[in-house]
Amino acid sequence: MNRIIVYIILLFLVAAIKGLSAQESKKTTRVELIRATDFRFDKTIAPDARRLIGDVKFKQEDATMRSDSAWQFTLDNRFNAYGNVFIHVNDSIEIYGDKLYYNGNTQMAELHGNVKLIDNQMTLTTEHLFYNMKSNTANYINGGKIVDAENTLTSLWGFYYADEKNFFFKDSVKLVNPDYVMDSDTLRYNTLTEITYFFGPTTIVSDENTIFCKNGWYDTRNDIARFSKDAWFTNGEQFLSGDSLFYDRNRGYGKATSNVMLKDSVQNTFVTGQLAEHFEKEFLSEVTREALLTVVAQNDSLFMHADTLRSINDEENDIRLLQAWNKAKFFRSDLQGMADSIVYNFSDSTIYLYHNPVIWSENHQLKAERIEVKTIDDNRIESIHLFDAAFIISQEDTEAFNQIKGRRIVGYFDGNELRRIDVFGNGEALYYARDENEDLIGINKSLSTDITILLEENQISSIILYTNSDSNLFPPDQIPEEERFLQHFKWITDKRPAKKEDIFVWE
């Protein structure tokens, strides 16, 4: 508020300096009476008072002023005019009103009642207007309305600089355009460029979206804008905020920088970062620089980081995707994972992991060339599909690992707990067999084209071999250390995020 008051004072100073400069450059001219149908003197009003009636016309320099009647005070070089007041300032400005007080020394006109100022770009209407002929500036303080080719603007205070075609508005400012409505505390508007500058809380509402900021500018002719200070944008389902927002309505392009947050109320997700771009026509939003996704769930939220997070929401073609590109890593208390690229398809509730993906669930590590995670009801896991070089490892103790590998593996979950594993093609299994007292009885090595493994409480309870099978149970001391690991075994739990902050660590 202090900055706004200072700004207003500066505007007045500029107007005053212009007036002083004009005074210094030339002497004050006299107001000249051009005509009146009837006139008479009335010394009871003032020694030099003249009552003028009928088709009254005054002139000072290039300006002419007309009215139905007037009182002229020649000694003071001023007059008061009444009825059908008209001022012709120059070729581009005309002013109308019911009453006029005019001082020829200061060349200040004060108009009352049904005041209308018209120039080449707009029409200003108000009930009380001050117009300075020297500086070509106008102001009102009790409410006014500006109308141009496409916009209607109302405010409590208004200041007009005719030479620069600049308006300054304060208090209850509203700009109505065919495509949107803007409400602001303070703004500046140029009728030539049709650019609006905001200096206080401002809201822009259209059929497509709503924008808010406390500082910025809007090019109303080209529909381009930049917003800052608590700026945000929403289309009802998506909400975007940042320290600075840029928006091009015609291109359907928006950009947010610094402390960015993108919220999707339909998908119940939040994305934060330092740079976001929105491509309206492509139904695409993208966040980079410290990008973080939060998928809110009733039981447990999921957090994901990647170099780039991208959201595609094309309801027309039923395409709803969330993509994480380059060094993607996620954390949920019961599920963690990483991959070069991750895609979540909201249409079928499936997560796709590409290029060296790894998933950890409880004490299990799942790895393959490509992984698909199918979820149900509040993001609970239904099944995990591992394609090509599929490998599942679970740790028995520090040096002992249960291992399953094959060309393709499907793991089925119940209550987010792994209960069944189906291996398809080149199946191999190595697991530590224990009795009902959890005592180790041997190490089982099995080979089969296809294998089904059942688990209870994260422990293998039974194993079913199908075609071309071979299974042997060896005493632990009969299997050398190097043969206790299937080919391509790789335990990478050191990369597993233990908390949500770890998803930003990539080594």
The verdict on 39 and 97 lying in the same domain is: yes
Q: How many domains does the chain have?
A: 2
pLDDT grade for 4, boundaries at 50, 70 and 90 = very low
3-state secondary structure of 239: strand
* pLDDT for position 7: 46
Segment 102-150, tens digit of pLDDT: 999 999 999 999 999 998 888 999 999 999 999 999 999 999 999 988 8
CA-based nearest residue to 302, from 311, 290, 312, 293: 293
Is residue 220 one of the residues assigned to a domain?
A: yes
* pLDDT for position 12: 45
The verdict on 150 and 181 lying in the same domain is: yes
Alpha carbons 164 and 173: distance in angstroms, whole number: 21
Q: Residue range 295-317: average pLDDT? A: 86
* pLDDT for position 5: 44
Is residue 485 one of the residues assigned to a domain?
A: no
3-state secondary structure of 315: coil
Structural tokens at position 247? 């928006």
Asked if residue 336 has pLDDT above 90, the reply is yes
Alpha carbons 394 and 489: distance in angstroms, whole number: 11
Alpha carbons 218 and 209: distance in angstroms, whole number: 15
**Surface-to-core class of residue 328, CB atoms within 10 Å of its CB (0-12 exposed, 13-18 middle, 19+ buried):** buried
User: Any bridge partners for residue 180, and if so which?
Assistant: 177, 206
**Surface-to-core class of residue 287, CB atoms within 10 Å of its CB (0-12 exposed, 13-18 middle, 19+ buried):** buried
All residues at 6 or more sequence positions from 91 whose CB lies less than 8 Å from its CB, including other chains = none
CA-based nearest residue to 188, from 164, 221, 224: 164
Is residue 58 one of the residues assigned to a domain?
A: yes
Per the model's pLDDT, the better-predicted residue between 180 and 376 turns out to be: 180
Minimum mean pLDDT range among 34-38, 412-416, 427-431, 492-496: 412-416
- Give the CA distances from residue 59 to residues 30, 102, 103, 406, in Å, rounded to whole numbers and listed in that order: 9, 11, 12, 100
Choose one of 265, 289, 314: the last residue of a domain.
Answer: 265
* pLDDT for position 378: 65
Q: Residue range 292-316: average pLDDT? A: 87
Asked if residue 1 has pLDDT above 80, the reply is no
CA-based nearest residue to 241, from 207, 208, 276: 276
pTM metric for this prediction: 0.73
The verdict on 36 and 92 lying in the same domain is: yes
pLDDT grade for 398, boundaries at 50, 70 and 90 = confident
Amino acid at 14: V
pLDDT grade for 481, boundaries at 50, 70 and 90 = confident
Segment 9-23, tens digit of pLDDT: 444 444 444 454 444
Measured CA angle at 323 (ends 258, 362), to 5 deg: 105
pLDDT grade for 196, boundaries at 50, 70 and 90 = confident
Per the model's pLDDT, the better-predicted residue between 121 and 294 turns out to be: 294
Minimum mean pLDDT range among 137-146, 252-261, 431-440, 489-498: 431-440
User: Any bridge partners for residue 337, and if so which?
Assistant: 330, 359
* pLDDT for position 13: 44
Alpha carbons 232 and 117: distance in angstroms, whole number: 36
Pick the most confident of 25-29, 68-72, 451-455: 68-72
Phi-psi region of 388 (alpha: psi -120 to 50; beta: other; left: phi over 0): left
The verdict on 67 and 168 lying in the same domain is: no
The verdict on 170 and 136 lying in the same domain is: no
Q: Return phi, psi of residue 289, to 5°.
A: 60, 95
Is residue 2 one of the residues assigned to a domain?
A: no
Measured CA angle at 161 (ends 157, 164), to 5 deg: 140
The verdict on 149 and 137 lying in the same domain is: no
Alpha carbons 247 and 276: distance in angstroms, whole number: 12
* pLDDT for position 22: 45
* pLDDT for position 8: 45
The verdict on 133 and 148 lying in the same domain is: no
Per the model's pLDDT, the better-predicted residue between 391 and 10 turns out to be: 391
Asked if residue 341 has pLDDT above 70, the reply is yes
Choose one of 118, 141, 164: the last residue of a domain.
Answer: 141
**Cβ atoms 159, 168 nearer than 8 A:** yes
Report the chain's mean pLDDT, rounded to a whole number: 88
The verdict on 38 and 126 lying in the same domain is: yes
Half-sphere exposure of 504 (CA within 13 A, CB side): 9
Minimum mean pLDDT range among 41-45, 243-247, 462-466: 41-45
The verdict on 79 and 149 lying in the same domain is: no
The verdict on 181 and 120 lying in the same domain is: no
Alpha carbons 374 and 303: distance in angstroms, whole number: 17
Q: Return phi, psi of residue 477, to 5°.
A: -80, -5
Is residue 37 one of the residues assigned to a domain?
A: yes
pLDDT grade for 96, boundaries at 50, 70 and 90 = very high
Asked if residue 348 has pLDDT above 90, the reply is no
Q: Residue range 287-307: average pLDDT? A: 89
- Looking at residue 216, which CATH number applies to its domain? 2.60.450.10
Amino acid at 134: K
pLDDT grade for 484, boundaries at 50, 70 and 90 = very high
The verdict on 74 and 109 lying in the same domain is: yes
Structural tokens at position 380? 């609970």
**Surface-to-core class of residue 80, CB atoms within 10 Å of its CB (0-12 exposed, 13-18 middle, 19+ buried):** middle
- DSSP assignment of 425-481 equals EEEEEEEEEE-TT--EEEEEEEEEEEEEEEEETTEEEEEEE-SS-EEEEE-GGGS-G
Residue 503 DSSP code: G
Buried b (16+ CB within 10 A) or exposed e, 9-25: eebeeebeebbeeeeee
Per the model's pLDDT, the better-predicted residue between 94 and 18 turns out to be: 94
Is residue 271 one of the residues assigned to a domain?
A: no
The verdict on 95 and 127 lying in the same domain is: yes
Choose one of 141, 156, 187: the last residue of a domain.
Answer: 141
Segment 234-269, tens digit of pLDDT: 888 888 899 999 989 899 898 999 999 988 887 788
Amino acid at 140: Y
Residue % of the chain over a pLDDT of 90: 59
Asked if residue 177 has pLDDT above 80, the reply is yes
Q: Residue range 394-399: average pLDDT? A: 84
Question: What is the span of the domain harbouring residue 157?
Answer: 143-265
Q: Return phi, psi of residue 54, to 5°.
A: 85, 115
All residues at 6 or more sequence positions from 172 whose CB lies less than 8 Å from its CB, including other chains = 154, 155, 156
- Give the CA distances from residue 57 to residues 25, 80, 163, in Å, rounded to whole numbers and listed in that order: 27, 12, 25
